Amino acid sequence: MKRFLVFVLIVFSIFVSAERLVIKGSNTVFPIAQLWIEEFKKFHPDLQVTLEGAGSSTGIAALFNGTTDIANASRWLKAEEIERMHREGRYFIPFLVGFDGIAVIVNKNLEIEDISIETLKKIYTGEIRYWSQVNPNLPKKRIVVYSRNTASGTYETFENKVLGGARMAPDIRMVESTQLEIENVAKNPYAIAYVGVGYVTEGVKVLKINGVYPTKENVLKGKYPLARPLFMFVDATKGFPEMGSLVFEYIMFAFSKKGQELVEKAGYIAAYGQ
């Protein structure tokens, strides 16, 4: 018993004395944050970091509850969230850390290179159901359409930019993870899906949208139609994170040359200095 108490005491004291940083939010930003933390820990060897990637909304909700220091988000604040912020007299500040292009992917064996936003809209609203309707040269096969589930930030971006208020057909497969989408598209010759460019693998083919590839340059110049900014939100109700505080250092590190290089390493597009 005595030993146990001593053990608990030691664990507890480590827990208290160590510097702690809690980050929650978007699973799009998650891989970037992971790389940042690995690197950031080199300056702060005894830093304890909690990193969760349950979704942008979860992160922002945690910021409201005060259970996180930083909320990662793959979208801007929703109207309800801004309203709640005003109601509670809170003040969240955004930090733009990078960009994500949404790549439309198909199976490698499908003979198509380019797709227009209009066609994409027709596919996702169920107006077009067969590949032959997209292009007469393609086989007359049912298009197997995949989408991220309705709560995902990627879905929201896609909905805004492609569907423009129209509704997705109910028989579209909503899947939980980007990995699942990619796997399915790699396997199924007649599938189509959309994923963050960072996730694209060798196994699938990225389509040009209105003739533009989701390259870094095209996204930064605003030519690629399906791109979105990635943010970190910090609660600044009690003031901007103090200089020298962990949150401040972490954000500055994210903005640094190394930090922005890691954004690229994670497969996204750096916002600054590249």
The C-alpha atoms of residue 81 and residue 172 are separated, in whole angstroms, by 29
Residues near 189 by Cβ (< 8 Å), separated by ≥ 6?
A: 107, 109, 110, 141
**Which of these ranges, 141-149, 197-205, 236-244, 250-258, lies near another protein under the rule CB under 8 A?**
141-149
Q: How far is the CB of 98 from another protein (least distance, A)?
A: 19
Residue 6: both structure tokens together: 């001593």
Q: How far is the CB of 65 from another protein (least distance, A)?
A: 8
- Residues in 30-59 that interact with another protein by CB under 8 A: 54-58
Residue 260, H or E segment: helix 257-265
Size, binding site for another protein by CB under 8 A: 39
Closest CA to 43 of 257, 250, 263: 250
- Residues in 183-212 that interact with another protein by CB under 8 A: 183-184, 187-190
| 19 versus 88: smaller Cβ distance to another protein | 88
| 161 versus 216: smaller Cβ distance to another protein | 161
100 lies in the binding site for another protein (CB under 8 A): no
CA 39 to chain centre: 20
| 146 versus 224: smaller Cβ distance to another protein | 146
Can you say whether the dihedral through the CA atoms of 41, 47, 53, 55 is positive or negative? negative
Q: Among 124, 156, 219, 233, which residue interacts with another protein (rule: CB under 8 A)? A: 156
151 lies in the binding site for another protein (CB under 8 A): yes
73 lies in the binding site for another protein (CB under 8 A): no
Q: Among 35, 47, 117, 175, which residue interacts with another protein (rule: CB under 8 A)? A: 175
Q: Among 34, 51, 78, 245, which residue interacts with another protein (rule: CB under 8 A)? A: 78
The C-alpha atoms of residue 208 and residue 214 are separated, in whole angstroms, by 7
The C-alpha atoms of residue 2 and residue 237 are separated, in whole angstroms, by 44
